[in-house]
Amino acid sequence: MMFKRIAAITITVTVALAAAAGANPMDTLQSDASTEEKAEACRLLSISGDVSAIPVLESLLTDEHLSHMARYALEPMPGTEADAALRRALKVVSGRLKAGVIASLGVRRDARAVPEIIPLLNDENGFVVEAAARALGRIGAPEGVDALETFMKQPGHSYAIMQAVGDGLFAAAENAVAAGRRAEAVRFYDAIYAAEAMPVASRAAALRGAMLARESEDGQSLLLKTLEDENTAFFKIALRAAQEMDNENTAAEVARLLPNLPSDRKIQVIQLLGELGRSAAAPALMREAEKGETPARVAALAAVTRLAYAPAVPLLTALVLSEDADLANAARKGLAYFPGEKGDDAIRDMLKNDDAQTRRIAVELVNEGALPEPIDLLMRAAKDDADESVRLAALKGAKDYAGPPQMSGLLDHLLSPRSEAEMIAAEEALKVFWLRRRDASEAMPHADMKALCDALAVTDGETRLAVMRVLTAIGSRQAFDAIMNLAENSGGDVKEAALRALCDWPAPLALPTLIDWVKAPPADKIKPLALRSAVRLLMLGQDTPEAISQHYAALLGQAASPNEKKLILSGLANVGHASALLMALEQLEDESVKAEAVQAAIAIAEKLGDSQQDIEALEKAGAMIPQLRGGERK
């Protein structure tokens, strides 16, 4: 009911405003129309700029409900008549209404109002004082700004009033900058900054303005002094100003401060210099990167990298082996992302280094994308490097970049590994590659597939299991048939491994076999694996709902325990077919799975349509399940 009442009120107001919009705004303002209608008339007058409405609007300036809308209409009016109307109103209004009129005079920048506004800086009403301060600054007349500066120096002002004074002088300064009177703007900014009673945020903003408004050398001098100031707010505003004053000389001068700055500020200045990207700061940053506390060195390494400072490359290369983990990581990141050929050449040189640890780190950097088109380098390192850790790192990286040309090489590592770890890495690379290819519906080249399938017959132990896992990841018919052949013609652990691989098959082509195994398991412990996998594949939904329901019926016919029925019902709940609903209803008689059957029936019912078959199934369900009474789907 409350919503209906609110909606009715909204509609009434909307209709009234629409009617007002169609009427003459002047007629509306001089009628007994509602406040909302008159406010809309004021809005229309603010658009039309009809100066003939000024007398009517002036009469509304004393109306506490419409004064703000009258001012809204007057503020954009052309000519000086609106100014005069606002000045006349200034003498007859008080409190918030007077503050509003003052604000509008400020918006219109009416210099003739300044003599009347200046005395209001001492008004008893704080809102009036704040409005007067802001308006005097916005108008920018010299006598008004002078009065504002004098007023600012008087003691005892509240926080709000000082903030308003600051806003006024900011407006005056911005006007001066726009008019090219930079010295005048500097005077205003300096006055705000020097006023200790002024809010810190206002002083900091004025300090920024003072830096930017000064001549370049004077502004730079103030910037450097502020970067060494103990006040945190001023220091931070100086960092911002430095970005806006961005030039080579500023960067060089700021960089000279680094040795004498405390650690926390040194890091922020280093980061600033990196963002500025000016080469003049590079030598000073390099000195910070070479020695000192670790956090500052880490920041400096990142900065010289951003500057693409070539002399930093040898230092980065040396630090990748640092015992300080933070420095080592920073150096590695610097080399990986160093712009241009210098960084790439350094990593290529590291790959040829006599030290195995250096080569391994280089390979890891290549893995992270440090070089373009890295796969040939990785495959060469995996094949030829004398150190196992390097070969292993190369194989691990190859999985993200390998394509069809690399398949034979990866197969060699899988089938003739120099260590178990390398075999595992090759297996992972092959699986990841073929998972990507399978998702893109790309078939494996015949020669590579034949090599893998043939390997099942000639390998043994962990190598054969690895081949089996790769074929399972590929998931093709040829791979399935090869492992099925192994399962049918082997015994012991080999047979069990093959059966388990087929139970893990990712593609629906294994479904008929798995359902047969649920009926007649080929080995102990295979039935639950086959059942679980069959439900998983059915849930992919890659068949008609009717066909999927038939498969679930076959599985339910073989279920030998409540847990097996619960598993099947969890999958059946995803099938939107009447036969699936009837199947779930049949399980209501089994108390051990009744709750799961009810939930499955409700889920299926939500998917059914309006066919006669669906309606009949729903009616039967409604008679058996309270939640579906009368066939209503919740």
Q: How confident is the model over 238-286, as pLDDT tens digits?
A: 999 999 987 899 999 999 999 999 999 999 999 999 999 999 999 999 9
Q: What's the mean pLDDT in 10-30?
A: 59
Residue 424 lies in a domain: yes
- Whether pLDDT at 60 is above 50: yes
Which of 358, 366, 365 is closest to 321 using CA atoms? 358
Q: How far apart are CA 576 and CA 161, in angstroms?
A: 70
pLDDT score, position 8: 34
* Share of residues in the chain with pLDDT > 70 (%): 94
Statement: the pTM of the whole predicted model exceeds 0.85:
no
Residue 591 lies in a domain: yes
Is residue 263 within 8 A of residue 293, CB to CB? The reply is yes
The whole domain housing 420 covers 373-434
CA distances from 538 to 548, 555, 585 (A): 7, 11, 20
Q: Which pair of tokens denotes residue 228?
A: 């060494």
Does 2 or 632 have the greater pLDDT score?
A: 632
Pick the last residue of a domain from 393, 415, 434.
434
Q: How confident is the model over 127-169, as pLDDT tens digits?
A: 999 999 999 999 999 999 999 999 999 999 999 999 999 999 9
Pick the last residue of a domain from 434, 456, 481.
434
Residue 570 lies in a domain: yes
Amino acid at residue number 473: A
Residue 265 lies in a domain: no
Residue 378 lies in a domain: yes
Distance of CA 454 to the CA centre of its chain: 49
Torsion-angle region of 308 (φ positive above 0: left; ψ -120 to 50: alpha; else: beta):
left
Q: How far apart are CA 397 and CA 365, in angstroms?
A: 10
- Whether pLDDT at 447 is above 90: no
pLDDT score, position 450: 86
Residue 609 lies in a domain: yes
- Whether pLDDT at 440 is above 70: no
Q: How far apart are CA 164 and CA 166, in angstroms?
A: 5
pLDDT score, position 456: 87
- Whether pLDDT at 18 is above 70: no
- Whether pLDDT at 549 is above 50: yes
CA distances from 517 to 423, 521, 527 (A): 32, 4, 6
Which of 59, 90, 58, 92 is closest to 74 using CA atoms? 58
Q: What is the CATH number of the domain that holds 386?
A: 1.25.10
Which of 544, 543, 567 is closest to 555 using CA atoms? 567
pLDDT score, position 305: 96
Residue 626 lies in a domain: yes
Is residue 431 within 8 A of residue 421, CB to CB? The reply is no
pLDDT score, position 437: 76
- Whether pLDDT at 582 is above 80: yes
Q: What's the mean pLDDT in 600-608?
A: 93
The alpha carbon dihedral of 209, 214, 217, 221 has a sign of negative
- Whether pLDDT at 93 is above 90: yes
Q: How confident is the model over 304-358, as pLDDT tens digits?
A: 999 999 999 999 999 999 999 999 999 999 999 999 899 999 999 999 999 999 9
What is the number of domains present in the chain?
2
Pick the last residue of a domain from 388, 413, 434.
434
Residue 174 lies in a domain: no
pLDDT score, position 441: 65
3-state SS string over 530-551? HHHHHHHHHCCCCCCHHHHHHH
